[in-house]
Copies of this chain bind each other. A is one copy, B any other.
Amino acid sequence: MGGDHGPRITLPACRAFLERYVDAHLLLVGKPEQLAGFSHPRATLVAASEVVGMDDPIEIALRKKKDSSMRLAIEQVKLGAAQAAISAGNTGALMAIARYLLKTMEGIDRPAIATRLPNAKGGATTVLDLGANVDCDAGDLLQFAVLGSALVSSLTGNESPTVGLLNVGEEAIKGSETIKKAGQLLRAAALSKDLNFHGNVEGNDIFKGTTDIVVCDGFVGNVTLKASEGVASMIVDYLRAEYSNGVFSKFAAIVSYPVLKALKKRLDHRSYNGAALLGLRGLVFKSHGSADELAFGHALDRAYDAARNNLLDRVRARIAHAAPLLARHEPAAPVDAAALHA
């Protein structure tokens, strides 16, 4: 039901998904009158009487709308009827409801949001947290590294993905007190073989692809993600404007079309759609609210891959292995729900 477009986008994406994966089943959770037109032997309707609005305060979504499609979808995961839930709705509400219903895993204080960004190696760098936690301590950052490693190993098959700690310089003495402490914890985790810790990385390393995973607090992650999208948009818009400016450049644009098309595809955030909410006792994925059919399909694929490759078991195994380290740090402050990014 969620996102800027609702079932107009999600239903065709679901149909295409079912055609791609002949062993997949979907539970479509939402208002029956909007979903009834969709019929497929591997799709089942789960009726919800309410929908969480994109601007609903988290309190309303969590306490008042107890029969919302978002809540019922996550309940399917809790009940074991579904292996993963996907939503294009209100991020803050999704995180709050998922956390409330599913709870965090033992050893994890705060769930994190992880997404992939394109890098110069032709692959993707997984970055977390992206906005669930605006104030993080060193122990949180260690947990994010463990969660991110489980995610990347389940999605790529690389059992020992490299982890970088986002900082203002590569040297261990750089950064805030929190970051320096996090560096110590991550180096300890590398010694105990819990993680493949590369060391500190800088902002440009995300796009160089220096490490498979980059760990940061949700404030830094959110700002960095949006700034990066801003630069890419500025460049693409600039090229478009230049190419439509004058006969010669219009000609150049036609000749350059395949190159620009390839660039657009390469930068297309739709291909990277499908952020994972990690650290919960169930799989929940978040699609961009503005996702179109193609983008929403990528989010479905990502959730499907995570479920098929036992992401939850991998997270549990990594947490169990890292338990002595994870237990060493002081408990985190409660999440500030109002600060969550919608």
Seen from chain A, the residues whose Cβ lies within 8 Å of a Cβ on chain B are 118-120, 131, 134-135, 166-169, 173-177, 179, 202-208, 216, 218-220, 222-235, 237-239, 242-243, 248-249, 251-253, 255-256, 258-259, 262-263, 266-267, 336, 338-339, 341-342
Contact = CB atoms under 8 A, between A and B. Distances in A.
Contact of A203 (B119, B230, B234): B230
Contacts of A175: 134, 219, 339
A59 to B, nearest CB: 12
B342 A135 contact: no
Contacts of A259: 239, 242-243, 249, 252, 256
Contacts of A208: 230, 234
A193 to B, nearest CB: 29
Instruction: Give 3 nearest A-B pairs by CB, closest first.
Output: A203-B226, A204-B230, A203-B227
Nearest to A246: B258
Classify the secondary structure of A's interface with B.
Answer: helix
A173 B339 contact: yes
A292 to B, nearest CB: 19
Nearest to A176: B134
A329 to B, nearest CB: 19
B252 A256 contact: yes
A120 B237 contact: yes
A223 B165 CA distance: 11
A203 B228 contact: yes
Contacts of A238: 120, 263, 266
A227 B252 contact: no
A229 to B, nearest CB: 6
Contact of A131 (B168, B258, B262, B338): B168
Given A175-B339, A252-B256, 14 more contacts: A131-B168, A135-B177, A168-B222, A203-B225, A203-B227, A206-B227, A227-B227, A228-B228, A228-B231, A235-B267, A242-B259, A249-B256, A252-B258, A255-B255
A220 B234 CA distance: 21
A173 B58 CA distance: 12
Contacts of A205: 230
Contact of A219 (B168, B173, B248, B249): B168
A237 B235 CA distance: 13
A289 to B, nearest CB: 13
Contacts of A242: 259, 262-263
8 contacts: A131-B168, A169-B341, A203-B222, A235-B267, A239-B259, A249-B256, A251-B255, A253-B256
Contact of A235 (B177, B218, B232, B338): B232
A269 to B, nearest CB: 12
B119 A234 contact: yes
